[in-house]
A and B are shown apart, each in its own frame.
Chain A
C-alpha cells in the first residue's frame, strides 16, 4: 500500500513540474527587434535613423554596405564607376594592366557574362537603398504613428521628401542599367511575399513610379537650398527638381526638361562656380553654389563614412584611356583636375589636388550638368543660339578656372563655339563637352546609350559592343535565387 502511495506522490511531482516549465519556452530574441516591436513602438530617433540609413548605399566607402571584402560579389564599393566610366572606355582598370580583378577587364571589353559581379554589386546596393527607403516611407506615411511619436509635420515632410527622392534615384539607376526591374514599394510582410515581388515590372512602369515619387517629394520639400542648414548633405528641393529634369531628359521629353530647369533656376540657389574644381574640393563642401546633390564623406566616424575610392586609387586603379585624354582640347584645365597623370590619381574623385584624403564628397548632380541638359533640350527643340550659348558658358568657366598646377593657359584655349544652326554639329559639340566636363563622374556610359552612339563609339575603339549590350544583364545570382522568376534580358 505504502508503495502505491509514494508512487502517486512521484507522479504528482512530475505533473507539477510539467505545468511550470512550458512558460519558459517563450524566449524573446536578445538584442534584435522583431518587426512587431519596431512597428508598434519606434521613436523619433528610429524614424530619423531609417531616413539617414537610406542614404548609405550612395557612399563610396569600402565594405560600406556589405562587409567582408566580397570582391566576388562586387560589393566592396559602389561600382557605378566601373559600369559607367570603365565601360564607356574613358577609364582603364589600372595604370598597369594585370590579372587583378579580371571582372573589371571584362566590363571594359564587353566580354562579360551575367555572372559578372559588377552587375550584382550595383543591384545589391540599389535594392538595399530601396528597401531602407521603403521602411522609412512606411513610417512617415503612417499618420497615427507620426502623431504618436510627436513628430512635427514640417519635419515629417522634409524627411519624407528625402526618402521619396532616394527611392526614385535608386530606381532610376536600376532602370538605366537593366531596363525592366522588379518594382518593390513596400517591405514584404513575409518571406513568401519577397518571392511574389521578385518579378520584373516594365521599365515604363518603373519610370512612372519614379516620376510619381519625385512629384510627391517636390510638393512637400522645404523651399530652401539646404533642407536642414546644419545637415547640408540632405536632399533638397533643388535636387528633386534636377532629378525630375534628368528623368525627363533620358526619356527625351524636351519640353518638360526645359520647364523643370526653369523652375530650378527660379529657386535662385545654383550657379556655376568660378573655379571648376570648387565642385570637388573637399574643403569647400557645401560652401559653393554649383553642387546640387552629393554624398558627404567624413573621416573618423563610426560606422565608416570615408571615401573608399581613395584607397582603390592608391592601389593603382582608375587610369584614363588614351582616347579619353585625347578628347580634351589642348591646355584644357579640366584634364589635370580630372586625372593627374604624374601622380596617378584623380583629384576630382579624391577631392584634393595634393593629398589622398578620405573625406572628399561624391558629386551626383551639379549645375553644370543641369545646364548641359538644358543645352541638349534647346538643341532638340530648335533653339540653337541658346544651346550654343550654354556650351560656351561651360567652356568659358573652364578656361577661366585657375589651373591645378598654377600654369597659365594660352589665350586661345577652349575658344567659344561659333554660332550654328546645324543641330547635328551642335549635338557633336555638346557630346564632347559633356565628356570633358563630366569625365569620371559616372555619366558617360548612360550618355552614350541614350544617344544611341554606344555601338559606333565603342566598336571603333575595338570593343565587342553588341546591340543587346544597351542593357546590362540582370545579375545571375538573383535570377538563381528567385528560382527563375526574374527573367534575363535578351541576348544573354
Chain B
C-alpha cells in the first residue's frame, strides 16, 4: 500500500510539472468579438480551448481575449440557447464568431447515467424538462412541478394538503408494489425529492426506457429522473432575488343539504326503515334549538402562501460557486391555521479546478421543513364536515351550562348523560364530531431536518484528458421529529374509564406522543470514463464504475396521557401522568446495495450510433442465492437527416430514428422480506410473516422505438415513441388465508404485467418576429394488462379491486348496478330469494340464477390506470410582456369514490349531498339513486355506483409577466401575476379527481390560487 501511495504522489507531481511547463512556454494571444445573427453583441459567451479547461468569457461588449497554447487547434464557443460553434485556430489571432440560436437544443449536453452525452446522439427515450417552464407552476414540491410537462410521466398529488406526498408514474404501473421512479441528484440517488428547492435545479432529465435507465439497474424499473443543481458560471457574479405571495381558495366543494332538507330526508329514511312507533324526525321538525350550519363553508377559509428566493452565483475559471437561500411558507385553507407548511433551504455548490486536470467540488443542501399535519384523508376533518348534521351549530351558546371559554364548540348539544350512552338522540344527530373544534385543537407537527449533498473529485488522465476518473461520496442524512398533542375536548357522554369520568369524549384522556428518528444513506461511487474521437468520424466512449449504498434508519417514540396542564409550555412528556398509559417504542432497520456497471457507445460520423450498458447489483434484501441481478441494455440510432439523400430537403432539419431494448430491476420491498419472522412482543409468541427464500429481483424488460423529427429549420420538433414494458417476477405482498393465523402478507415473485403505449410530443417555437411564442404539447397512451400470476394466487382480491390475468392491474371489481327496483313485482320476477324492497339498488344477476351472490355476480367495473395522459402549454413574449399557460389532463380513468358511499349511501343519519334530493321516492321517480333508508338498500356492496369516471382537464397555471431590462445595474426586473388550478373540467363527484388512492376516502381538496410575484436579476 505504501509504495502505491508513493508512486501516486510522484505521478501527481509529474502532472503538475507538465502543466506548469506548458503554461510558460509556447502561447499566443487570440481575441475577437462574438455576436448574434442580428449583430447584437453577446456577453458571457464561454470560449474554451477544445480538450482543455482553458478558457474565458466575452465581456459586456462581446469581446474576448485568450492566451492559447501553440499546440491548441480548436476554439469552442458556447452560450446557453445557442448552437455551439467550433472554430479552427489555424494560426489566426483574431477570431470573430456569430452564434445562432439553437432552437432544437440538439447540441445540448444531457446528463445520462453517470456520463453525459450530446442530445443529438442519444439513442434512448430521454426527455429533458424545460426548467423555466417548470418554475412557473409555483409549487413548493419539485415533483409536482413536473405535472403535464413530459409525455408518459403522470404526476398526481395524493391530497391537496400542504406537504403531503406527490406520486410520479413513468410509463404506467409496471408492478403491483412500488412504482416510484428513482431520483438521482448530482449523482446521489434518493427516493424522495421534496427537500429540493426548485430554484436550484439546472437540468432535469427523465429516463423513460430501459436503454437510458438500465445503468441504474435494480432501482430503475419505475424510470429515473436525473437532476443536476446549478453551479456558478465563469464570469460575472450574478444575483437573483424572487418573491411571490399567493392567495388560495378551496375549489370544487360539493353542495350539502341544509337543515330543512336534512330533516326531510331523514324523516323519509325513517319511514323507509321498518321502524315502529312515531317518526322522531317528524316530531323534531322546526325545533327551536336547531341551527342551519354549512359545515364546509365554516371549515375552509382563504389560504396564503409566500416564497422568497435569493441566489448568488459566479466564478472564475478556477472556482465557481452558487449559494441559494429559499423560504416557502403556506397557511392552508382550513380555519385556525393548524395546517401550515414551511420549508427553508440553504444550498451551496462549489466547484474548484485545482489544476486543469484535477477538479473537486461539493454540492450541499441543508433543508428544514415543518408541516402541521392535519388528517388529510380518511377519518379527516373534511369527512367530518361532510357528515355532520347541519342542524347543529358550530359554537355553543354562551349561556349553555356546558360552555367554556377553552372549548366553546358544540359536540353533542342534544345529548344528556343520564347514566350510560344509549340516547336515541345521540344516534340521531350527533354521531360525528365537530370538525371546526377538531381543526382548532389540532396540534400535530412534523419536522424534518435534512442534509443532502455530495463531494466529488475528478481527475483527467492522458494527453487530451480523454480518461476521467471520478469519485463521488454522497450523503443523505435526515432527522425527523413528530410531536402530536391531542387535547381533550367535547361533551361528556358518560363513557371512558373510571379515572376519566367527566371528560369530554374527544381525545379522552388528553395525550402527547412524540417520535424522533434518523435515516442515513451513504452512497459511494467511482467511475472511469473514456471518450475519444478517432479520425474525426469515430466517436467512441466507454465507462466502468462501482457503487456502494448503505442505509440505516432508527427511531424512538414515546407517549403519555392525562396532562394536568395543557398550555404549550407543558406539552412535553415529563408533564404527563406517570402512572398509567406510558408507552415507548424504538426500532431500526438497514439495507445495503453493491453494484458494478459499465457502458460503451460508438457514434460514426454523428449519424450512426449504438450504445450498450450492463449493471450487476447485489442487494441485502434478498437471500444469498438470489442476491445478484444483471441488467443489460442496448440501443441504436440513425440520424437519417444527415444522410446525403436527404440533404436537399430544406424543411427537414432533423430526422432521427432510434430503438432500444433493456432490462431493469426493482428491489423496493421490506428489508427482510425473504425471512419467516416470529415476534415475541409483550410475551405473545406468534408468527409474524411467512418468508420466501426464493424471493428475487423483479425485472422489467422494455423495448422502445422512437423517431425525432425537426421541421422548418427546427421551428417544429416532433417526437414519437412506442414502447412495450413487461415486468416479470413482480414483487407482490400476498395475503395468506387466515387459516394459518393472522400474519402479514408474504412477498412473492408473483406474476407478469405488461404496459404498452404511444408517446407523442410536439414543440413549436416561433421567435422570428417581435411576438415570439412557443407551443408544447404531449400526449401518451397506456394499455396495462396482467399477463400472468403466481400459480397459488390465481387472483388478488382486495376490498374493491381484483387483479386477474387479462385485466389491468387493480381493476375495480364488484356488483354492477343496472337500475332501481320500482315495485315489488319487479323484485319478485327478478330474484328468487331476495330480501330487497322497492327503491333498492338492482344489481346485475350475471349468471341469471335469481340470486345476487359474491361468487357469481361480481364483474370488473373499471380501471384506476389512465388510458391517456396529456399536457399542453403555450407561452409567448411580446416586447416586455410574457404570457404562459399550462393545461394538464387525464382521460379514461376510474376511481372508487368511497367518500360518496359514506356520505350519500350510509345507513347512519349523516348529512347528504344535494343529489340525494333526487332519490327514489315511489314508482318511476328515479332509476339511479336508491331510496333513503337506515337499512341496507344495497349500498353496502362494492358496486358500480361508486366507480366513477375520474377523467379531468385542469388549467394548472396561467401567468402574465412584465420585464424591464432598461434599469441601470439590473439585468432584468420582472413582475408577474399568475393563477394555479384556475378551473377543472371533470365529471367526478368526489373532492379531487387527482387523488391517487385506489379508494377515494374524501381527501383534503386542492385549491385555486392567485399569486403576485417579482424577480430581480443583477
Return chain B residues, CB-CB under 8 Å to A131: 686-687, 740-743
A192 within 8 Å of B (CB atoms): yes
Closest B residue to A97 using CB positions: B275
Asked whether A17 and B546 contact (CB < 8 A) given A311-B495, A344-B422, the answer is yes
The residue from A6, A105, A476, A486 contacting B854, defined by CB atoms under 8 A apart:
A476
B587–A130 CB distance below 8 A: no
A127–B739 CB distance below 8 A: yes
Asked whether A198 and B742 contact (CB < 8 A) given A25-B619, A35-B675, the answer is no
B683–A49 CB distance below 8 A: yes
B976 within 8 Å of A (CB atoms): no
Give Cα A268–Cα B677 distance, bound, in whole angstroms: 45
A49–B685 CB distance below 8 A: yes
Mask of A46-73 contacts with B, CB within 8 angstroms, 1/0: 1001101100100000000110000010
B792–A483 CB distance below 8 A: yes
| Minimum CB–CB distance for A77 against chain B, Å | 15
A300–B580 CB distance below 8 A: yes
> Which residues in window 158-182 of A have CB below 8 A to B?
182
Interface residues on B, range: 35 or more
| Minimum CB–CB distance for B389 against chain A, Å | 14
Closest B residue to A56 using CB positions: B684
Return chain B residues, CB-CB under 8 Å to A128: 686, 738, 741-742
A33–B548 CB distance below 8 A: no
B533 within 8 Å of A (CB atoms): no
> Which residues in window 184-228 of A have CB below 8 A to B?
184, 187-188, 190-192, 194-195, 197-198
B422–A7 CB distance below 8 A: no
Return chain B residues, CB-CB under 8 Å to A3: 461-462, 467
Closest B residue to A487 using CB positions: B855
Give Cα A483–Cα B743 distance, bound, in whole angstroms: 17
B167 within 8 Å of A (CB atoms): no
B935–A105 CB distance below 8 A: yes
Mask of B883-927 contacts with A, CB within 8 angstroms, 1/0: 000000000000000000000001111000000000000000000
Asked whether A98 and B420 contact (CB < 8 A) given A31-B587, A132-B686, A483-B793, the answer is no
Asked whether A314 and B420 contact (CB < 8 A) given A27-B592, A111-B835, A191-B736, the answer is yes
Give Cα A483–Cα B424 distance, bound, in whole angstroms: 44
B243 within 8 Å of A (CB atoms): no
| Minimum CB–CB distance for B497 against chain A, Å | 8
Asked whether A114 and B854 contact (CB < 8 A) given A21-B548, A131-B687, A481-B735, the answer is yes
The residue from B427, B671, B684 contacting A100, defined by CB atoms under 8 A apart:
B427
Closest B residue to A492 using CB positions: B853
B684–A303 CB distance below 8 A: yes
| Minimum CB–CB distance for B258 against chain A, Å | 22
> Which residues in window 307-362 of A have CB below 8 A to B?
311, 314-316, 343-345, 356, 358
Return chain B residues, CB-CB under 8 Å to A95: 422
B987 within 8 Å of A (CB atoms): no
Asked whether A194 and B684 contact (CB < 8 A) given A102-B907, A315-B421, the answer is no
Closest A residue to B910 using CB positions: A99
B684–A53 CB distance below 8 A: yes
Return chain B residues, CB-CB under 8 Å to A99: 273, 906-909, 934-935
Return chain A residues, CB-CB under 8 Å to B98: none
Asked whether A192 and B4 contact (CB < 8 A) given A6-B11, A135-B686, the answer is no
A-B pairs, top 8 by smallest CB distance, nearest first, are A131-B741, A99-B907, A316-B422, A29-B672, A50-B685, A35-B676, A480-B797, A99-B934
- 23 A–B pairs (Cβ distance < 8 Å), ordered by A: A9-B8, A13-B526, A22-B618, A24-B548, A30-B587, A34-B672, A49-B684, A102-B936, A131-B740, A131-B741, A184-B740, A191-B691, A194-B739, A195-B793, A198-B740, A303-B682, A311-B495, A315-B421, A315-B495, A345-B420, A477-B738, A481-B735, A484-B794
18 new A-B contacts at CB < 8 Å, known A18-B546, A127-B740 = A3-B467, A5-B7, A7-B467, A11-B528, A21-B548, A24-B594, A27-B672, A30-B589, A30-B590, A32-B688, A100-B431, A102-B907, A113-B854, A135-B678, A182-B737, A195-B736, A478-B737, A483-B795
Chain B residues within CB distance 8 Å of chain A: 4, 7-8, 11, 14, 273, 275, 419-422, 424, 427, 431, 461-462, 467, 469, 494-495, 497, 526, 528, 546, 548, 550, 580, 587-594, 596, 618-620, 624, 627, 671-672, 675-680, 682-688, 690-693, 734-743, 746, 748, 792-795, 797, 799, 833, 835, 853-855, 906-909, 934-936, 940
Chain A residues within CB distance 8 Å of chain B: 2-3, 5-7, 9-14, 17-18, 21-22, 24-27, 29-35, 38, 46, 49-50, 52-53, 56, 65-66, 72, 94-100, 102, 105-106, 109, 111, 113-115, 120, 123-124, 127-128, 130-132, 135-136, 182, 184, 187-188, 190-192, 194-195, 197-198, 300, 302-303, 311, 314-316, 343-345, 356, 358, 464, 466, 475-484, 486, 488, 492
